[in-house]
């Protein structure tokens, strides 16, 4: 029999596919909690059946009224409440951050039981740079809002991670190709399940693939960071330097052009002196 838990909020990561991915600690917390706050009790019931336990469940999702959150926090003063999402780590593109924030403000102990996350799992599968990455959740539905969001991150030098659904996938990949350029990307789906796959190619090729064969299941799109920008033509830098020398002394002109073109300031200063001397 599991030991009784101390009162507080327990954030419990649950499997994103294979139920065997549930950690022993997560299983113990779910088996012992006084109640479980969950998105869909039918989904969580399947997990509890896998554990062979029954626990009271309280619906908690994005549309829950504030009084539901207040009620949960009041109970945490004397009871252990586990928070789960339908799959993966709660709060990662799932409800929960308001509950955590207000629980902490109320002096409630908050504990996390880490585990599966589709975003991180897809990143490990795609073979793209992992030293810097940015998780962006779901892109907006409307084309203009989606394009604006993509434009905001076009210059971010990090691998980008998005969640997506099957029916929207092809349009999203095409919008990413248009807004980011035809970068390398990966589409991961059915992670940890029998038919797990991660297909990598350029964004445009992936868009064409999934336009013909829309996939099912939950999907993660991983997009490579922007490539190194090619150096500007020497003639462009020379023209800018010549214009700057009309207004500025050589040192300042070189600094201005170096900043604008991403070139070496010392080399530009030497070029500016040569231009000034008529060379």
Q: Binning pLDDT at 50, 70 and 90, where does residue 278 land?
A: confident
Q: What is the CATH number of the domain that holds 145?
A: 3.30.950.10
Q: Is residue 21 situated within a structural domain?
A: yes
Asked whether residue 59 falls in the same domain as residue 37, the answer is yes
Pairwise CA distance, residues 20 & 250, whole Å:
68
Q: Is residue 164 situated within a structural domain?
A: yes
- End-of-domain residue from the set 116, 135, 152: 116
Average pLDDT over residues 157-177: 96
Q: Collapse the DSSP code of 163 into the 3-class scheme (helix H, G, I; strand E, B; otherwise coil) and give the result.
A: strand
Q: Is residue 3 situated within a structural domain?
A: no
10 Å CB burial of residue 17 (0-12, 13-18, 19+) is buried
pLDDT at residue number 117: 96
- pLDDT (tens digit per residue) in 92-118: 988 789 999 999 999 999 999 999 999
Asked whether residue 125 falls in the same domain as residue 107, the answer is no
Per residue in 246-267, is it b (16+ CB within 10 Å) or e — as a string? Answer: eebebeebbbbbbeebebeeee
Tokens coding 186: 């990966």
pLDDT at residue number 3: 77
3-state secondary structure 128-158: CCCCCEEEEEECCCCHHHHHHHHHHHCCCCC
Q: Is residue 201 situated within a structural domain?
A: yes
Asked whether residue 109 falls in the same domain as residue 16, the answer is yes
Q: Binning pLDDT at 50, 70 and 90, where does residue 276 land?
A: confident
Task: Answer whether residue 1 shows pLDDT above 70.
Answer: no
Q: Binning pLDDT at 50, 70 and 90, where does residue 7 land?
A: very high
Asked whether residue 32 falls in the same domain as residue 85, the answer is yes
Share of the chain above pLDDT 90, in %: 76
Asked whether residue 201 falls in the same domain as residue 259, the answer is no
Q: Is residue 2 situated within a structural domain?
A: no
Pairwise CA distance, residues 173 & 178, whole Å:
9
Asked whether residue 102 falls in the same domain as residue 137, the answer is no
Q: Is residue 229 situated within a structural domain?
A: no
pLDDT at residue number 62: 74
pLDDT at residue number 102: 95
Looking at the structure of the chain, the number of domains it has is: 3
* Beta pairing partners, 198: 188
Q: For residue 177, what are the contacts with CB-CB under 8 A and spacing of at least 6? A: 183, 202, 203, 204, 207
Q: Rounded mean pLDDT of the chain? A: 92
pLDDT at residue number 46: 95
pLDDT at residue number 236: 82
Asked whether residue 13 falls in the same domain as residue 107, the answer is yes
- pLDDT (tens digit per residue) in 9-23: 999 999 999 999 999
Asked whether residue 110 falls in the same domain as residue 126, the answer is no
pLDDT at residue number 94: 83
Q: Is residue 1 situated within a structural domain?
A: no
Which helix (H) or strand (E) is 211 found in, with range?
Answer: helix 203-212
How is residue 88 annotated by DSSP?
B
- pLDDT (tens digit per residue) in 53-92: 999 999 998 778 889 999 999 999 999 999 999 999 999 9
- End-of-domain residue from the set 116, 134, 164: 116
Task: Answer whether residue 238 shows pLDDT above 80.
Answer: yes
Q: Binning pLDDT at 50, 70 and 90, where does residue 43 land?
A: very high
- End-of-domain residue from the set 116, 148, 173: 116
Q: What is the CATH number of the domain that holds 102?
A: 3.40.1010.10
The residue whose two tokens read 């949960």 is 72
Asked whether residue 189 falls in the same domain as residue 263, the answer is no
pLDDT at residue number 98: 92
CA 52 to chain centre: 33
Q: Is residue 166 situated within a structural domain?
A: yes
How is residue 250 annotated by DSSP?
H
Q: At what angle do helices 166-180 and 203-212 cross, to 10 degrees?
A: 160
Containing structural domain, residue 150: 119-223
Asked whether residue 41 falls in the same domain as residue 89, the answer is yes
The lowest-confidence range among 18-32, 191-205, 231-245 is 231-245
Asked whether residue 219 falls in the same domain as residue 182, the answer is yes
CA 193 to chain centre: 21
Q: At what angle do helices 66-76 and 97-105 cross, to 10 degrees?
A: 50
């Amino acid at each position: 029999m599991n030991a009784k838990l101390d009162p507080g909020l327990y954030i419990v990561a649950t499997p994103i596919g294979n139920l065997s991915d549930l950690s022993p600690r997560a299983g113990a917390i779910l088996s012992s909690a006084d109640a479980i706050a969950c998105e869909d009790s039918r989904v969580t019931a399947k997990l509890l059946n896998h554990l062979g336990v029954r626990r009271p469940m309280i619906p908690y999702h994005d549309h829950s009224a504030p009084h539901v959150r207040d009620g949960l926090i009041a109970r945490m003063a004397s009871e252990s409440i586990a928070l789960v999402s339908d799959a993966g780590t709660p709060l990662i593109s799932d409800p929960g951050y308001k509950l955590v924030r207000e629980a902490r403000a109320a002096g409630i102990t908050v504990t996390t039981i880490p585990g599966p996350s589709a975003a991180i799992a897809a990143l490990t599968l795609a073979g793209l740079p992992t030293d810097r990455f940015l998780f962006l959740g779901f892109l907006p539905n409307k084309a203009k809002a989606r394009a604006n969001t993509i434009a905001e991150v076009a210059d971010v030098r990090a691998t980008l991670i998005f969640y997506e659904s099957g029916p929207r996938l092809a349009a999203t990949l095409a919008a990413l190709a248009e807004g980011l350029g035809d970068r390398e990307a990966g589409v991961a789906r059915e992670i940890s399940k029998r038919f797990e796959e991660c297909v990598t190619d350029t964004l445009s090729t992936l868009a064409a693939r999934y336009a013909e064969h829309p996939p099912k299941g939950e999907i993660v799109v991983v997009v490579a960071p922007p490539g190194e920008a090619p150096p500007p033509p020497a003639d462009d830098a020379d023209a800018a330097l010549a214009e700057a020398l009309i207004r500025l002394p050589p040192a300042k002109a070189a600094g201005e052009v170096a900043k604008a073109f991403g070139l070496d300031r010392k080399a530009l200063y030497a070029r500016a002196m040569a231009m000034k001397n008529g060379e």
